[in-house]
Each structure stands twice: as structure tokens, then as C-alpha cells.
Amino acid sequence: MGLLLGVNIFLLIFITITFYLLTRLRNTSLMNDVETIYTGENGMENFGLLDKLNGLDHLPYWQGSPCNDIRASEGSFFPPREVTKKDIVHVFDKDLCRIWPLRYRWDEVKNGVTVGRYTPDDNMLTSGDRYKDNKCFCPGRQSCPPDGLQDISPCQFDAPVFLSYPHFYGMKNKEITSAVEGLSPDKEKHETFLKIQQKLGVPLEARVRVQLNLKVTHSNYGIARKFPSIMFPIVWVEEGAEELPDYLIRWIYLSTTLCSWLVPFVSYGTIVLGAFLIVSAFIKAYRKVVFTRENLELGKAKLRRGSSFFINGQHRLLIIRDSYTLLQDQPTVAETSFDPDP
């Protein structure tokens, strides 16, 4: 009994020191990282995505794509889905040693703003033995870890650290889960998700939940003979943001929800108002120029002169017509008497 208690205490101390050293060294290295990201100046397709990390355009831990890809967001901005037309976004976290593919699931409303809910892709932690895109996460191995686990020792100073979801959420390997007591996986508590506004690419809520596990291998030497081969959960962590400041939410609401119906209303209203003003100005100018008292009197005078001219002209035509006589009514030259000496 005393030996078993001593083994447990030794194991606890060893795990605590290992975890402390890993997190201490990782936090120190993260402070010196230099990230280069796309600002969207030349197009929103890559807005917010990493271009380089510490001068590298790939992750040095893995050999080959897609495992060493770095083209992902660090979590603050994403390319708008209305621009990319894609259902997958990628998030990079150096502690996780890889980019995480998150798949769009459905729309929901948060604080009056419509957002898309994204959760990890179904194949993110699928074993490389069954999913070829994950094969490059287990280099130098004849077989990869089972579904639900990923070996991240290359970026954890070669310590036997494995990544999983909290409480082995979603894992179907009974050999691993049955060796640990107290597991109670819960979707609401342990699922990673992001809620991203689709037009702006801004997350309104984010929860990244992961668990770090230490692989303990049975040995026949000394006190280690009491250690079983087990995937020992060290700690599970949650990072993210639940609420944005109120003033940011108001601006996001105005620029996405309110403007979506206000802009067409203002646009068409401006067109109608402009047409009305143009017609009103034309009518007003026409009345001012044409229907003034002077113009009306001048028009009346012209009408009177025109009427008099028409009447007088008609009389002249009648007089001229009455003065005509037909040639056949005039006496001929032969019949006319002529007296040279009157």
C-alpha cells in the first residue's frame, strides 16, 4: 500500500514538473514571435491570414503539406464567408502545433447579430492511418495514434505529449477511455466553437478547448514496473472570448444587420427624391419663364395681331378675286371699233 502511494506521488510530481516546464518554455518563446498577416489591401480572400511566422512560410515541426501549412488566422479576423464562399476556416495556435480546420455548421443570432457557428472538422483528429491528410502528423511512425489523439511532441521539446479534446470528448477508443476514471464528456462544456459574423469575418464569441495528455509507457525497470501503459490526462484548458465590448457590438450591428435593409431603403429613396426634385425644379422654372404676366400679355398681343392680319389678308384676297374678269367676256380686237380721229 505504501509503495503504491509512493508511486502515485512520484507520478504526480513528475507530471506537474513536466507540465510546468513545458508551459514556462512555451510562454517564453511565444513572447518573441513575429507574425506577418494579410491586411486585405489587395483582396479580402486572405484577410487576416498569416503569411509568415518568424520569417517562415511553413511550420518547421512537420514534413509536407497540409500539416506544415501556415495559411490560417490567429483568431482575430477571418476572410468573410460572403467573399470566399467556403465553409472551412483555419485557426492557428502555436501551442497546438498546427492549424485547426473549423467547419461552418449553421447560423444563429447573438446580441441581435447573425453569426455562423463553426466547430472542428470531423476529420481533424482522425488517425493518419485512416485519413491520409493527417498522415504527416506522425512522421517516423509505422502507425499513427488512434482517432481522437494527435502526437505534438515535435513542438513540445520531444516530450510524449498528445493532444485531444477535453475528457476525451468524441473518442470511441474504449481502451483509452476505460483506463481513466472520472471522465464525463459534455458537448456544451468541451466542444470547441467559433461564432463568426459572415460579412465582416469578426468572431463575436470563441471557445478553444483542448486537453494535454502524457503518454506513460510500462517499463520493467525499478519502480516504473508499477506504471501501466496509459494516456494520462494532464490538464484541459479553455481559451477564447465570450463577449465583445458593447460599443463594438453596436457598431457591428449597425454595419451588418441595420444597414442590410437601411442601405436599399436610402438608395431607392434618394433616387425617388432626386427625381421628384428634378421634376419640381423643371415645372417651377417653366412656370416662371412662360406663365409670367408679361409673357401672357405679350402672347395675347401676338394673338391679336395674328388675328387682324388673318382677317385683313382674307379681305384682300377676296377683293383681288372680285376684280378678276374672264378673258372670254372681253371683246376681241377685231370687233372693237377704233376711231383715230375722235
pLDDT of 331: 52
3-state SS, residue 52: strand
Q: Dihedral through CA 110, CA 115, CA 120, CA 122, nearest 10?
A: 120
pLDDT at 183 over 70: yes
What band does 60 get if pLDDT is binned at 50, 70 and 90? Answer: confident
pTM of the model: 0.68
Count of C-beta atoms within a 10 Å radius of residue 89:
25
- What is the amino acid identity at position 211? Q
Strands (E), 70-192: 88-93, 98-110, 113-120, 150-151, 161-164
Task: Determine what percent of the chain is predicted with pLDDT higher than 90.
Answer: 11
Between CA 47 and CA 72 the distance in angstroms is 10
C-alpha cell at 101: 480546420
State the pairing for strand pair 98-110/193-197: unpaired
pLDDT at 213 over 50: yes
> Contact at 8 Å (CB) between 197 and 115?
yes
Write the pLDDT tens digit of every residue in 67-117: 889 888 888 888 888 888 889 999 988 777 888 999 999 999 888 888 899
Mean residue pLDDT across the chain: 76
Between CA 257 and CA 82 the distance in angstroms is 15
- What is the amino acid identity at position 122? D
Sequence-separated (6 or more) residues with CB below 8 Å from residue 241? 203, 205, 206
C-alpha cell at 158: 520531444
